[in-house]
Chain A
Amino acid sequence: MFYREAGQFKTSYKADQAMFPIFQDKIFVAIWLFIGFVVVPMLANEYMFRAIFIPVIIMALAAIGLNLLVGYCGQVSLGSGAFMAVGAYAAYNFMIRVPELNPLICFLLGGLSATAVGVIFGIPSLRIKGFYLAVATLALQFFTDWTFSRIDWFTNYTPSGSIAVRPVEMLGVVFDSPMKKYFLCLVFLVIFTIIGTNIVRGRIGRAWMATRDMDVAAEIIGIRPVFAKLSAFAVSSFFIGVAGALWAFVHLGSWEPLAFDINLSFSILFMVIIGGLGSIVGGMLGAAFITLLPLFLNQLPVWLGINISTAMISHLEFMIFGALIIFFLAVEPLGLARIWQITKEKLRLWPFPH
C-alpha cells in the first residue's frame, strides 16, 4: 500500500522523464535526505561518524563512479585505488604549490587529474575489444603505487614518504570535527549522485549502455563505441578521483601510498558488483555493505564469546567476499539494488500480497 503507481497519470513527457516520476519515490528520497542531514547528525557519536558514516559516504561516491564504467558501460577497471591516489596526490600538490586555490577547487582538480590519467591509459586499451582495460588499469595501479612512493616530488620531499594535512577550509568553515566532515562528504555525495543520475538517463548514458549491450549495433546507429567507452572511463575516473581526494583529506588526514593499493581497487569493484551493476543506488548499498561487513566480522567473535585470530578473520573475510561476488553475479547481477527494488514491489502490495 505504500507504493501505488496507479492513478498517477503523467500528462507531459516532462513529468514522465523527471528523476522520480512516482510520488512515493519523491517522499522516499526526501525521507532519506532528512535522515542523512538531520537524524544521523542528531544521533551519531564521533566513532560512528569516523568509522562508519564518513568512509561509507566517500566509498559510495567512488562506487557510483566505478559503476558508471562497469555497470553502465560494461568495462572492468581494477585501478580505482590508483585513481583515488591520483585524485588525492594531485589535490595535495595543487594545494601546496598554489596556496591561494580554494580546497574545493583543488579537489575538483584532483578529479580532473584522475580523468587525464585515465584517458591516457584508456586510449590504447579501449580501442580494442576484450579485457585490455582490466590489464591497463592494473598497470596503472602498480605504476601509481611506485610513483607516489619513489618520486619524492609528489610527496613534497617529506622524509617518511607519508603526507599529513590540516583540516580543509572551505567557504569560511574549517572542517575539523567529525560531524562537519560528515556534512561535507554528504553534500559531495548528493551533488555527484544527482550528476550521475542525470548522465545515465540522458543521451550519454544511453550510448554507454548501448555499447555495453551490443557494440556493433551501437555503432550502426551512430554511437562510436570507443568514444562511449572513453567518456565513461573519463567521467568514472573523475568521480573516483574526487572520492580519493576526500578520502585522503577528510577521512584519513594523513596517509601513505599504501592507503591506495590494489586491495582498495578490488574493494570498490566488489561494492559495485554486490551493490548492483548499473544502479546508482547500488553503489551506495554496496559501499555500505563492504565497509560494514569487516567491522561486523571483527565484532562477531566478541559478541559470540569465541576466540578467533585477526588473521583468521581476514581470511574469512576474503572467503565471504569471494563467495558473495560469485553468488551475486550468478544469481542476482543487479545486486542489493534489485533486492531493494523487490522489497519496494512487495511494499506496493502490502498488506495484501495476493
Chain B
Amino acid sequence: MGFFVEVLISGLMAGVLYSLVALGFVLIFKASGVFNFAQGAMVLFAALTFVRLLDILKDTFAPITLALIITIAMMIMLAMAIERLVLRPLVNQPGISLFMATLGVAYFLDGFGQTLWGSDIYTLDIGIPRGSIFILESVFEGGVLVAKEDLVATVIAGILVVTLAIFFQRTRIGRALRAVADDHQAAQSIGIPLNYIWVIVWSVAGLVALVAGVIWGSKLGVQFSLSLIALKALPVLILGGFESVLGAIIGGLIIGSGEKLAEIYLGPYVGGGIEYWFAYMLALGFLMFRPQGLFGEVHIDRV
C-alpha cells in the first residue's frame, strides 16, 4: 500500500507539471480561440533563455532575479511578436489555419532557441532543495518516499494557479479577458482592444511556460525533449475540457498519476514503456463518453 501511494504521489507531482503546460493552452484557447501547439516550444524557449542567462549573469549581484526579469521581458516580446506577425494577419481565418500557424511558431521557436542558446543539456540549479524525505510515516509502515523538489514544484505551481485565479476574477484586465473569451465581437464593441488582450494572454501563457520550464528543467535538465514532453498536456485538455482552468489542473493530475500507475501495474504485462502513449489513449477513451471533457461546456451552434 505504501508503494502504491508512493507511485501515486510521484505521478501527481508529474501531473502538476502537465497541469501547468495545459494551463497555458487553456488561457490562450479561452481568450483567442487558438489551439496553441507552440506551448511546449514556449516552455523550452523560456527554460533555455533562463538557464543560459543564469550562466551569463552568474557573476552579478543577483543572477536569478536578473535572469528572471530578462526572461520575462523576452517572453513578453515574444507574445508581441506573435500577436503582430501571426495572430493579426490570420484574424478571421478558420481555427485550423491558426492551429497550423502555431505549429510553425513551435518549429521556429525550437530552432531559434537552440540557435541562440545552443542545444546541449543544461543543468538548472536555482536552489530548489534536492533529495527525498519520508512523509506519512504514521499512516503507512515505513512512510512514503517523496522527492523534495517535487514538493517545492507543487507549492510553486499552486501559488501560480491561485495568483492567476485572482488575476482573472478580481482585476480589470482579468475581467476584460473573460469578456473576450465569451464573445469576441461583443468585447470589441464595448471597447476592449482585442490585440492588447492577445498580447497579455500570450504573455501570461509565456510566464506559465517559464514556470513550467524552470521546474521541469531543474528536474531533468533543460534540453530539447522539454518541447516534446509538453505534448503530454494535449490529452490533459481532452480530459479537462479545452476551456476550463480547473479542468486543466484536475486533468493534469489524473493523467500524471494514471500514467505512472499504468506503467508500474500494467506495463510489465505488455513489455513496458506504455507511459509513452498511455495518457493519449486514456484521453481518447474518455472522448467516447464525455466529448466536452470533465469541465467543458456544450456549445450550441447558432445558424
Which residues of A are interface residues toward B (Cβ below 8 A)?
A: 70, 74-76, 121, 124-125, 127-128, 130-132, 134-136, 138-139, 142-143, 145-146, 150-151, 216-217, 262, 266, 269, 273, 311-312, 315-326, 329-331, 333
The answer, yes or no, to whether B287 is at the interface (CB within 8 Å) is: yes
Task: List, in ascending order, chain A residues with CB within 8 A of B234's CB.
Answer: 135, 138
The answer, yes or no, to whether B188 is at the interface (CB within 8 Å) is: no
Q: Is the CB of B231 within 8 A of A330?
A: no
Shortest beta-carbon distance from A250 to chain B in Å: 29
Question: For the side of the interface on B, what is the size category?
Answer: 35 or more
Which residues of B are interface residues toward A (Cβ below 8 A)?
A: 35, 85-86, 89-90, 93-97, 99-101, 103-112, 114-115, 119, 228, 231, 234-235, 237-238, 242, 270-274, 276-277, 280-281, 283-284, 287-288, 291, 301, 303
Task: List, in ascending order, chain B residues with CB within 8 A of A333's CB.
Answer: 93, 97
Shortest beta-carbon distance from B232 to chain A in Å: 10
The 4 A-B pairs at the shortest CB distance, nearest first, are namely A318-B111, A322-B108, A325-B104, A139-B280
Task: List, in ascending order, chain A residues with CB within 8 A of B89's CB.
Answer: 330-331
Contact of B111 among A131, A132, A269, A316 (CB under 8 A): A316
Cα–Cα, bound, A6→B284 (Å): 54
* 7 further A-B pairs in the complex, CB-CB below 8 A; given A131-B95, A139-B235: A132-B238, A139-B277, A143-B280, A311-B119, A315-B112, A329-B101, A330-B86
Most A CB contacts (10 A, CB to CB) among B101, B111, B303 go to: B111
Secondary structure at chain B's binding surface: helix, strand, loop or mixed? helix
Q: Is the CB of B111 within 8 A of A322?
A: yes
Q: Is the CB of B103 within 8 A of A139?
A: no
Task: List, in ascending order, chain B residues with CB within 8 A of A150's CB.
Answer: 270-273
Contact of B280 among A138, A312, A322 (CB under 8 A): A138
Residue of B nearest to A142 (CB): B277
Q: Is the CB of B104 within 8 A of A326?
A: yes
Please, could you name 24 A-B residue pairs with CB atoms under 8 Å apart, sorted by A?
A74-B94, A125-B284, A131-B35, A134-B99, A135-B235, A138-B231, A138-B280, A139-B277, A139-B283, A143-B280, A145-B277, A266-B103, A315-B110, A315-B119, A316-B111, A318-B108, A318-B111, A319-B108, A321-B104, A325-B103, A325-B107, A326-B85, A329-B104, A333-B93
Contact of B276 among A145, A269, A324, A326 (CB under 8 A): A145
Cα–Cα, bound, A319→B242 (Å): 28
Cα–Cα, bound, A136→B100 (Å): 16
Contact of A124 among B101, B273, B288 (CB under 8 A): B288
Shortest beta-carbon distance from A158 to chain B in Å: 16
Contact of A128 among B95, B115, B283, B287 (CB under 8 A): B287
Cα–Cα, bound, A73→B268 (Å): 41
Task: List, in ascending order, chain B residues with CB within 8 A of A317's CB.
Answer: 111
Q: Is the CB of B97 within 8 A of A329?
A: yes
Task: List, in ascending order, chain A residues with CB within 8 A of B284's CB.
Answer: 121, 124-125, 135-136, 139
